[in-house]
Structure 1
Amino acid sequence: MRISDDIGFGINKSINDKGEKVAFPSVVIERINNKNRSATSFLGGQEDDYSVVIWEENKPQESQSIYIGDAALSEGAIRTWEDDASKNDNLIPIIVTSCAILGDNTDIDLILGLPLDFYSDEVVEDLKKKLKNINKIVKIAGIKGTKRVKINSVSVFPQGVGAYYSIALNLDGHIKNAEFLKASGAIIDIGYRTIDYLVMSKGKKGLKVRNNLSGSEELGIKKIYEKLQNNTEARIGKKISISKIEQAIIWNNGKLEMGMEDIDLKNDYEDICSKHAKDIISFIKFKWQDELDYIKNIGIAGGGSKVLRQYLKESFKNIVFLDEYANTYGYLAYQALSDRRNV
């Protein structure tokens, strides 16, 4: 089975070659066993709440017990991420959990993406070495039985490329939008920590990536939460974690619960979102300058595009908002196309 995973700083998104999807926050925390209560008795029951046990095949005595996603956030976990993804200790449990949910116990061909500025031959090879030949047994609370996760091969693409090809190709790598492949296009992928920006221009032999107009910048939606955190701390006169700010926005309709008092963050949040969208627009216009006149389509991708959609929709001509799974979809599609070309 082929499974594509977008290992984001904020949200991990995966899709298999049947089109089945899963997403959860990229957060992991060790589970402390308590015989007097079961994990399923207090987890919220939503599909992004996971209590997971992972072990090497034939070594159940060396199992790892974790909470992952919103379940981990509920237990006080915070996001951690290395610029070199292969050094992230949470990488394997995140990917193995995704593969267990979406897999069918057959060997897995795994396709991943990395932010453009963190993408290098060395990082790609380290990532492949770390993940290839993983052979784990996984038990997820609420899912009957166990799943075997054996990774047979690993392919790694730059983020943005996936979103681009999601417009042009089907999951099997066949062309679904020939016109898009004939014209210059661009992607702005708004993630949790970074935005990736990519320009594909027409050359003599077809489309090619414009490296001078492509890259990553730390303008993801984390900046919004950081600004809201600073404003809220000044407002209430005490320190508050960015996790609490994020949870108030995502889980509690903008209400921050402080003892007996609910602090409404919504108006401040919306104002910050509007200003942050303008910062992204200004940055892209500065980077692309006159090239904007020659770009026929601009795709807006990533989880942050949902947050900022209303503020970005009038920003550029010929703008197209893509599904939040666009990168994962595109990785699968492009990998299938590459395999067909190599036959």
Structure 2
Amino acid sequence: MAYFYQVPALVNLCSQYLQSIAREDNVCEILDLALQYDNVGLRQAACDYIDQNATIIIETDSFVHVSKLCLEYILKADTFHVDEKTILRRAIEWAKLYQGNDSLNMDEDIRFNITVKHFRNTIGNAFQYIRLGAMSFAEFSECAGSTLDAEEIKDILLFTNICSTDEFHQNRLPKKKILELKNGISSWTAHSFSRSSESMYKITVKKNLICEGIKFSKLSLSATWGNPGYGEPNLDFSVNITIEITRTGLNFSFKTAMQALSLHTIKFESPVNLKASKDPYTLVVKIEFQPNPLNITINANQAGVGSATVEHAEVEWNNQFSILHQIHFSNMSNRELKDKERKCGDERLI
């Protein structure tokens, strides 16, 4: 009704409510609604939930009851991190149901022997997002041998052989990944004439990624008075932190108590897109003290020099003082990217 009467405020309330009740057994239905009504916010929230709980959701009853469009949208994501054997098995179950064979309510022995006719045509565009190349022949045979007839299997294998590698993305990826920097010891002393320090990290990205945030190192403090005789130094003071990543426009600043910075996690207000490039991005973390008469030494449990890698990203640093413990990345689902690719492909066919 909210869409019918075009009441944006009511549409937003409905979207927020559906997001609040999302569970493993209903989130596929919520995604179906989001696609039907082209609600971008609800669609993204449902996709994030599905990707984060993929191994559970694929086995739910609601998964095999989604529309053909929704099935395609779920499977196309590089971040739908389920083994391909399970995906093929559940796609076949979906096709059985779509063809009117309610095999889910049958005995196991009977369900095992039901065949699916024209499987590739039945699931439509979703078929190209099943990464058959990630499966062994034995795994494919176990899933398809008893449910697809010989002609259908032959058709699938021939179709796969003539497809370009661009049409089949072989590997799915976990939604989130954490890069941990090498442990060690680095330190910096802030004197009255030197009240700020920068830690710099070169990030080389081999596949489009999102940088979501960082985690600071475990820090320990000590301080002495610039002039002796003032008694025990007070370590309860604040610092200004600025975080920048070149070529992204990120300039994130905050103020915090120095002692609260140890092992503190920062999530950026907006995810930072890092595009694959041979030229590294530079992540700069600047720490600045307000003027005071203390000489402050900060020790970090991170090596001043080193490198670390996660899949598709490498970080190198050479700092006197290295303040970061982790950099948080996430993989792009590429669902929207593939939509654009398909539109371009459709235009070429016209």
Q: TM-score, normalised by structure 2?
A: 0.26
Q: TM-score, normalised by structure 1?
A: 0.26
